[in-house]
Amino acid sequence: MLFLLLLSAAVAGTWLWQRYTSFADAPLAGIENGQTLVVEPGDSLPAVVRKLRATGVRTGEPIQWRALAKQLGAAGKLQVGEYELEKNTSPRKLLVAMRDGRVVRRRFTIVEGWNIRELRAALKRAGELEHETDQLDDAALMKALGHPGQHPEGRFLPETYLFVRGDSDLDILSRAHEAMDKALAAAWEQRHEDSVLKTPDEMLVLASIVEKETGIAEERPRIAGLFEQRLRIGMRLQTDPTVIYGLGASYDGNIRKVHLTTDTPYNTYTRAGLPPTPIAMPGVDALQAVARPAPGEDLFFVAVGDGSGRHLFARTLAEHDANVQRYLQRYRQARAAERAGADAVQTQERQ
């Protein structure tokens, strides 16, 4: 009789253990793609399980969760945050994630060449971030970041920043500002000994111009050297991106002769030297190009005109004028080809 009782207990124990391990390691049923679970301050394990159940996930018995949490050392140690739920998420995997704080990390990328308006608009569209800056103007924003009186343009390093639920746009900007300070300080320390730039702020301004002038990495040092040459001999920079920046929101995508001749603090056709602030957010490569510009005697450059984004460089105005004629010829040929293609499409549509 005792033997039968012991055997029955052993069988029951084995059955319970198999059921428990099946619960612990089997994927939770009912999880939808992209679903997450948010653990808030004060949430207990039963509260978390109820949240899961409320979203349609089949959770099993509370006693099973308590036993598994105790086994994993997660009881009373669930960390606040947002957790990803995948199709293969099991109770064990989820409890370990909550015990270890493996929260969802999202990404926000500041793109090289963005200006402050574009950056703030992108932050406003980032729905996963808390928004603390929407009602702040630029001056109030910089004060909130601990840099009162500083112009915001160019002060945030283009990079991809990870953030978690509860982080704000101000958190991202603070990290990006600190990253730019470090990148600028590093570039300033590496500058060539005969640089015409007098301060790190001047380096940041010139790097922003180089950033806007070319997206071709190998061209940046050459363009940086060209602008240094102009500054050294007192020649105006005459760079369109500064004029465009000075136009602000009124720029409609076309730069005209009247824009080049209308004086603003950012018109480098009418004013000598650097503009008063950066005109965009330069990346590390642009900063390094300005720190170590390519040697040479180039003073002029113009787009090749083939859609590659590359430029033709020249030492003299005569060479530059010839390059401009090459650019105009390619431009006219491209426009003629576009018109011919459009005419051919219209002809086919009429037939």
User: For 310-348, how does the pLDDT look when each residue is reduced to its tens digit (9 = 90+)?
Assistant: 999 999 999 999 999 988 888 888 777 777 766 666 666
**Where in the chain do CATH 3.30.1490 domains reside?**
23-100
Task: Enter the pTM of the model.
Answer: 0.82
pLDDT, mean over the chain: 89
Which ranges of 197-305 does DSSP label H, i.e. alpha helix? Answer: 200-213, 220-233, 240-247, 257-261, 284-291
Question: For residues 39 and 79, what is the distance between their CA atoms, to the nearest angstrom?
Answer: 7
Q: What is the pLDDT of residue 58?
A: 87
pLDDT range class, residue 199, cuts 50, 70, 90 = very high
Q: Do the beta carbons of residue 115 and residue 138 sit within 8 Å?
A: no
Of the ranges 53-67, 173-187, 255-269, which one carries the lowest mean pLDDT score? 53-67
Angle 306-158-114 (CA atoms, 0-180°, nearest 5)? 55
Taking 60 as the threshold, does the pLDDT of residue 3 lie above it?
A: no
Question: For residues 177 and 298, what is the distance between their CA atoms, to the nearest angstrom?
Answer: 33
Question: For residues 179 and 186, what is the distance between their CA atoms, to the nearest angstrom?
Answer: 11
Taking 70 as the threshold, does the pLDDT of residue 18 lie above it?
A: no
DSSP bridge partners of 314: 300
Q: What CATH number should be reported for the domain whose range is 23-100?
A: 3.30.1490
Q: What is the pLDDT of residues 149-158, one digit of tens each?
A: 999 999 999 9
